[in-house]
Amino acid sequence: MLQARQIEVRRGPCAILREVDVELQAGRVTGVLGANGAGKSTLLAALCGELPIAAGAIALNGRALLDWPDQQRAQYLAVLPQQSTLNFGFRVEEVVAMGRLPYDTGRQMDRQIVQAALVAADSEHLLGRSYLQLSGGERQRVHLARVLAQLWPGGAGQVLLLDEPTSMLDPLHQHSILQAVRRFAEQGGAVLVIVHDLNLAARYCDDLLLLNQGKVFSAGTPTEVLRADILQEVFGLEVLVQKHPERDHPLIIAR
């Protein structure tokens, strides 16, 4: 899938990321955590080739990331940035259909995929609406549908990178969107998602990568990473960590 080995990203003389290893595996959701400025969005930008790396290597399905032709890479790697800028009054289905640009599958097939992606992103009811008339949360869900359509239905070798996809969503849609992300992984794809909510990360992620000052501070399962002593050191937050009463994942309670 997607592997990064000892990557370093620099801005001028400053190293923003240092000696970071990432391995995204089929069928698994990897969450990236860290305080503001820890390097989370920088990591995502490096993994998709948007930012050059000063050291290390990144490979997609065993092939150097930058060796992939753009159109072919877009059929295996999709990215949802933290902010998606679109200033034209496209209809919702036209925005989602942009995810089909790397393909030549025909209008009928593309129309079916757009419909399915909107359903997966809980946005089917927005069909026909102008993108500019949507709320921030609705726009975010439409863009999630767009990247899902780009890789639909998901499968081995495909990678989805998401930068804070729940940041503008109400609690119900935070869960519905992350459930859609999990379903993508269950189809055989690999997912990396940047998330700030520790309890959402505990519930929906198989693996966690905790960044601190541009380096990996802790990596492992939610149980291994979401420990009170680790969260105190990285976030300066005193928490109580318990087992969820109905699930096995950790439940984090601020003191």
Spell out the domain ranges in the chain. Answer: 2-254
Q: Would you mind telling me the total number of residues written for the chain in this entry? A: 255
Q: What are the phi and psi torsion angles at 147 (to 5°)?
A: -75, -30
What are 37-77's pLDDT values in tens digits?
999 999 999 999 999 999 999 999 999 999 999 999 999 99
Which residues, 6+ apart, have CB-to-CB distance to 86 below 8 Å?
95, 131, 139
pLDDT at 84 over 80: no
Q: What is the pLDDT of residue 154?
A: 87
H or E segment to which residue 94 belongs: helix 92-97
Q: What is the mean pLDDT of the chain?
A: 95
Contact predicate 211/39, CB 8 Å? yes
* CATH H-level superfamily of 2-254: P-loop containing nucleotide triphosphate hydrolases (3.40.50.300)
Split at pLDDT 50, 70, 90, the class of 1 is confident
Task: Give, in order, the Cα–Cα distances in Å from 111 to each of 28, 77, 118, 149, 155.
Answer: 28, 21, 11, 10, 20
What are 212-247's pLDDT values in tens digits?
999 999 999 999 999 999 999 999 999 999 999 888
Helix axes 136-151, 107-120, angle to 10 degrees: 130
What are 155-204's pLDDT values in tens digits?
889 999 999 999 889 999 999 999 999 999 999 999 999 999 999 999 99
The 3-state DSSP class for residue 29 equals strand
Alpha-carbon span 75 to 102, nearest angstrom: 6
Alpha-carbon span 174 to 56, nearest angstrom: 34
Q: What are the phi and psi torsion angles at 32 (to 5°)?
A: -115, 125
Average pLDDT over residues 85-99: 91
The 3-state DSSP class for residue 242 equals strand
Which residues, 6+ apart, have CB-to-CB distance to 245 below 8 Å?
251
Alpha-carbon span 39 to 168, nearest angstrom: 21
Which residues, 6+ apart, have CB-to-CB distance to 37 below 8 Å?
none
Q: What is the pLDDT of residue 89?
A: 86
Tell me, what amino acid is at 79? V
